[in-house]
Amino acid sequence: MDEVNDVRLYQDLGLARKPEPSRKKELGQEDFLKLMVTELRNQDPFKPIKSGDFLGQIAQFGAVSGISSLEKKFTGLAESLVSNQALQAATLVNSSVMVATDVGPLPAGGSLRGAVDLPFAADRVRVGIYDSAGGLVRQFELGANPPGAVRFAWDGVDKDGRRLSPGLYEIRAEATSGPVTQAVETSVADTVESVNLGRAGDPLSVRLKGLGAVDFKDIKQIG
């Protein structure tokens, strides 16, 4: 209480320090014009501001103001694009998609479906299915094919005719053109269960029934 009374006494005597007025953090267009007018009024009459310098200062302020305006517009555009992409992705729920990956899901009582992505015409295309231990369980010969997607399906039966357990299996594909044989990329079919929007700035992702979460950009084909 004594400290409060002391402060009030100092204020009544005019000895208390007055709070400093808040300062602007940004220079607005009105402030800039006031500074320009003040500069013109107080210029040296023997060294007046050249018209080119004056116009240059106005152009610089206009450029800064324009960049700030563009940043706001681009931010709004980016947010709009993300929202639009999210709406499009939401329509994918329960849809079948092809995803770029070398691992595929074998569903219970179903088949693992995928495609070999050939960048060139091949005389021979071979696909191998491997278990979690890296053992070869089945191999397919897809023959000669032109560039593009060559589809395949595995019913879950191994090379000995036994039905294997549902789960994820590795896919390795290779293509032969003349004397050269090289590994090629594959994609796998799966069903979209949900769409993950994430936080601002995060890439859009989808959750698939067999593969789990994957980036939206990895989806190569819908339907």
- Could you tell me if residue 165 is inside a domain? yes
Q: How many CA atoms lie within 13 A of 66 on its CB side?
A: 6
Show the 3-state SS of the chain.
Answer: CHHHHHHHHHHHCCCCCCCCCCCCCCCCHHHHHHHHHHHHHCCCCCCCCCHHHHHHHHHHHHHHHHHHHHHHHHHHHHHHHHHHHHHHHHCCCCCEEEEECCEEEECCCCCEEEEEEECCCEEEEEEEEECCCCCEEEEEEEEEECCEEEEEEECCECCCCCECCCEEEEEEEEEEECCEEEEEEEEEEEEEEEEECCCCCCCCEEEECCCEEEEHHHEEEEC
Pairing of β 122-130 and β 136-145: antiparallel
84 and 126 housed in the same domain? no
- Could you tell me if residue 203 is inside a domain? yes
pLDDT of residue 186: 96
- Could you tell me if residue 118 is inside a domain? yes
pLDDT of residue 30: 64
Q: Which of 90, 115, 134 is the last residue of a domain?
A: 90
112 and 132 housed in the same domain? yes
Give CA–CA dist 176/126, Å, rounded. 9
For every one of its 223 residues, what pLDDT tens digit does the chain have, with 9 covering 90 and above? 555 555 565 555 555 555 555 555 555 556 666 666 676 666 555 555 555 555 566 666 556 555 555 566 556 555 565 666 666 667 778 889 999 999 999 999 899 999 999 999 999 999 999 999 999 999 999 999 999 999 999 999 999 999 999 999 999 999 999 999 999 999 999 999 988 766 655 677 889 999 999 988 888 888 7
User: How many domains does the structure of the chain reveal?
Assistant: 2
Give CA–CA dist 137/133, Å, rounded. 11
- Could you tell me if residue 13 is inside a domain? no
Which amino acid appears at position 6 of this protein? Answer: D
pLDDT of residue 222: 84
pLDDT of residue 35: 66
Q: Do 114 and 138 contact (CB within 8 A), yes or no? A: no
Q: What is the pTM assigned to this prediction?
A: 0.60
Give CA–CA dist 32/124, Å, rounded. 72
207 and 177 housed in the same domain? yes
Tell me which residue range forms the domain holding 74.
29-90
pLDDT of residue 176: 96
pLDDT of residue 196: 77
Residues forming a β-bridge with 82: none
CATH number of 157's domain: 2.60.40.4070
